Amino acid sequence: MPDNIYLNGFGYYAPERIITNEEMTTIVDTSDEWIVTRTGIKERHIVAPGETCSDMAYAASVKALEAAGMDATELTAIMCATITGDGVVPNMATKLQHRLGTKNTIAFDYNAACAGFVYGVHIAQGFMCTDPSHKILVVAGEVLTSRTNWDDRTTCVLFGDGAGAVVISNEQRTPAKPTALSGNAMLEGVLSSADGTGGDLLTAYGGGSAHPYKKGDVVGDEFFLYMNGREVYKYAVRNMTGICNTLMEKLGYTIDDIDVLVPHQANLRIIEAVGDRLKIDPSKVFINVHKYGNTSCASIPLALGEAVESGFIKPGMRVMLCTFGGGMTWSAAILKF
C-alpha cells in the first residue's frame, strides 16, 4: 500500500437550466413553503434536451484534470458511479475514456446509488494498494430527472442533475496553472457498508431484468424513482452518524478534530439531524442542497468541489464526507487538506 493516497484535483458540473420552486408549482400541486419546510431545497438543475450523463461527466472530469495538472493520457483507470448512465452498453466510463482521448485504461461503471462517489474513493484505495502508480479518475454523475415522476409531488421536488469528479494518485501535485479547484487532500480513512434488507424503500425497478418491458409496452410507475421518505430518513440519519463515529474511532479522532463535514445533500432535515447527532458546530457543515436538490452520487463531489472552490475548505483542514443511498448503502471518508 502506498504511504499516502491523494485527491489531487476536483471538478463539478451542473446544467444551466434551473427549475425554481415557483416553477414547480406550475408542474405539480405544491408550494415553495411546502418544499422548503420539508427539504430545504429552493431550486434544482436539469439537463437540456439532448444533454447526457456522459456530457456532464466529461465537463466535470476536464475541470478535475485541469485542477490536478494532469493530462488525461496519464490516467490508468476511470470509474463512474451512476444509476442513470447514457445506456446499458457501452458503459459511461468507456464513453468518457474515448472523449478524453486515453488509451489502455481500466474503465467501468458501478452502482451504489447516492453513496457511489465515496464508494469509488474506497475502490480507488484498493487499486492503489495493488499498484501505487495508478492515476485514477473517479466520476459520479446522474440525470435523475430522467427517472423522476413529475406527477408525484413527494419525489419530483427532490431531485436534480449534476456530475462531479476527482483525480486520485499517490503524489502531491503542483499544477503549472493552479485553479480554484486545485488541492492535495490526503485520504486518511474510508469506510463503506450496506444493508440489503432495506432495498425496497428506494427503488426504480422498471426496465431491469426483474421488471422488463416488451416493445410497445407503456412505461409504468415502476420505471420512476419511488421512495418511502419516512423510513429512508431513519436509515440515513442512523447510518450516516454511525459510520462517521466508527471511522473517527478507527482513526483515533473525535468530532473536535473535524474542521468541515460534507454530508450527502439529500434533504436539509437529514443534514441537520446528522450534524446534531455528531455534535458538530453547524458552522462547520457545508450545505448546498438549496441550490441543487438531491443529485444522488453527484452530491458529494459537487459539494466538495464547491466547498474547495469557495474557500469553505482551506489547506490544513480535516474534512469528513458521509453519504447514504438506495440499497441501502452508506459510506464515509476523512481527508486532510
Angle of helix 53-68 relative to helix 299-310, nearest 10 degrees, comes to 40
Q: Say how far apart CA 239 and CA 65 lie, in whole Å.
A: 33
Q: Say how far apart CA 107 and CA 334 lie, in whole Å.
A: 26
Q: Say how far apart CA 227 and CA 245 lie, in whole Å.
A: 27
Smallest Cα–Cα separation from 271: which of 248, 314, 300, 246? Answer: 300
In this structure, how many other beta carbons lie within 10 angstroms of the beta carbon of residue 84? Answer: 21
Q: Catalytic: 53?
A: no
The residue from 53, 114, 156, 297 that is catalytic is 114
Q: Which helix (H) or strand (E) holds 232?
A: helix 229-251
* Exposure letters 254-283 (e unless 16+ CB within 10 A, then b): ebeebbbbbbbbbbbbbbbbbbeebebeee
The residue from 21, 91, 267, 294 that is catalytic is 294
Q: Catalytic: 322?
A: no
The residue from 53, 156, 264, 322 that is catalytic is 264
Q: Catalytic: 264?
A: yes
Q: Which single residue is written with the C-alpha cell 435523475?
A: 144
Q: Say how far apart CA 147 and CA 308 lie, in whole Å.
A: 30
Eight-state DSSP code of residue 331? E
Q: Say how far apart CA 5 and CA 171 lie, in whole Å.
A: 7
Smallest Cα–Cα separation from 171: which of 139, 119, 136, 130? Answer: 136
Q: Which single residue is written with the C-alpha cell 483515533?
A: 252
Catalytic positions, please?
114, 264, 294
